[in-house]
A and B are shown apart, each in its own frame.
Chain A
């Protein structure tokens, strides 16, 4: 397992796109956090929840979705460039290969989430301290943000495995957001249990209709269900390209 993890990390390290995505995400988080907190004290930016939201939402939603897209693109890319066969020659036990891929992307999600959150805090905390304000960032919220990024990274891996195509996986990940919005018109509060809807209560953003713990549990169930589906399909399908 360690060999597979190391080999996958070598593959990540030897592509510039990974570094580019990380840099871009950190820049966006810093930009959103800085721009939002420059208006601290104005209407809608007074409570700690409101002050925290630009950072938690940018990392917990934006970075999480980007991590999902990155994972889906990487796994889908293995099929696109015909390298999946080569990967499975090295790791013919497919479930172990999937476990290693999930572990790598979980770690990448954790690292990217931590770096983005750290960068946002490095910008936001001094800005708020200068105005004697606080975003009351608790360890529980930090953990929830990182959990969201990790879970979405794993969901991205599953989408790549299930659809075996970069464009299809990206379309599903992005399209699910809009599908959820449409479904929300019909199922009301039930939409809070859909993958994107779960992020609002999980990150303790304004407008949450369920508590953080059931949201975390529901996201875990969704992720595990997708992993089970991906494992089932991955272990049975032929690799023909």
Chain B
């Protein structure tokens, strides 16, 4: 199914080494180093403007790095012998609005002499056959994203680079994309997909790379990040939050505010907190266990980096 023989080797499919890109005085990507293992799905995450697209464009030879390198299958993209058969990319949902989806894909097929029959195959694959002869200009964002995926898959590449494929999709579309990416991964493809919403990719990816302000924040298996994000905390709503917060911090517990009368406490139990509140005559209105979700973890990771950047 997959034409890229590199899928069976141990070499990383994608490597960034000290990649730096400056646009004038602005540093879009800053000394970024990470690699994507062959056959894995890696989520490339960061807030808007964090340098994700620039990094992916550097990988694909569209943006020249200021320093460092970006390699795919061990080579710079422009040195690949059959780039479209090795790497499929979806940078943005781009097609001439006056061209039909079928004609757009016919042109893409011609780029690497793929047979015309492949056009119908990829249309079926992304479930766009019924709209194949409609002009792309009239497509919804979700349909354009599907067309972008069909474009990336046209030459059956072993490596897929997808920039924000879930952008603008409704929940149904995100679910479809998730299942679709899983099916592609099951075929042994390497997938690097960017997103600014961790939850969108959390059920799809094996590894997570988080960047912010062009710098690497973390690169770890999703399972580690999930374990980190499920550390339990206790939500307490009370009448005298400042009194309780002082009492809790004096016992080396981590306390954070969430609104005027709500505290989040980590590293303790409801029983212990209840006892401390009782000892300090604090009236408790509500006390319950809470787990931070992936999104909170993601925001914490990126906000920590933002704080570092400011200081």
Contact = CB atoms under 8 A, between A and B. Distances in A.
B149 interface: no
B7 interface: no
A14 interface: yes
A209 B276 CA distance: 101
A93 B77 CA distance: 10
Interface stretch (A4-12, A115-123, A124-132, A140-148): A4-12
B61 A92 contact: yes
B227 interface: no
Contacts, number: 82
A82 B111 contact: no
Nearest to B60: A89
A238 B96 contact: no
A4 B83 CA distance: 14
Contact of A92 (B83, B103, B107, B112): B83
Interface string A81-119: 111011111111100000000000000000000000000
A239 interface: yes
A241 B86 CA distance: 22
Contact of A83 (B54, B63, B95, B110): B95
A31 interface: no
B4 to A, nearest CB: 15
B167 to A, nearest CB: 14
A87 B92 CA distance: 13
Interface string A1-45: 001101100110011110000000000000000000000000000
Contacts of B54: 240
A239 B57 contact: yes
B250 interface: no
B87 to A, nearest CB: 8
Contacts of B61: 88, 92
B78 interface: yes
Contacts of B92: 82, 85, 241
A15 B99 contact: yes
A87 B110 CA distance: 11
Interface residues of B, number: 33
Given A83-B95, A239-B57, A89 B63 contact: no
Contacts of B141: none
A184 interface: no
Interface in B114-147: none
A92 B103 CA distance: 22
Nearest to B78: A92
A87 B77 CA distance: 14
Contacts of A6: 110
B112 A3 contact: yes
A7 B57 contact: no
A7 B107 contact: yes
Contacts of A86: 91, 94, 108, 151
B111 to A, nearest CB: 4
B62 A238 contact: yes
Contacts of A15: 96, 98-99
Contacts of B100: 14
Interface hub of A4, A81, A86, A87 (most chain B Cβ within 10 A): A86
A82 B80 contact: no
Nearest to B137: A81
Given A92-B78, A238-B57, A7 B96 contact: no
A65 to B, nearest CB: 23
Interface hub of B61, B84, B104 (most chain A Cβ within 10 A): B61
Nearest to A94: B78
Nearest to A78: B96
Interface of B: 54, 57, 60-64, 77-78, 80, 83-84, 87, 89, 91-92, 94-100, 103-104, 106-108, 110-113, 151
Listed from nearest, the 10 A-B pairs whose CB atoms lie closest are A82-B94, A90-B111, A14-B103, A92-B78, A7-B110, A239-B62, A238-B63, A10-B110, A11-B107, A7-B111
13 contacts: A3-B112, A10-B107, A11-B107, A15-B96, A15-B99, A17-B98, A85-B60, A89-B89, A90-B84, A90-B108, A90-B111, A92-B83, A238-B64
Given A92-B77, A240-B62, 11 more contacts: A7-B110, A10-B106, A14-B99, A15-B98, A15-B99, A83-B95, A83-B96, A85-B60, A89-B83, A92-B61, A240-B63
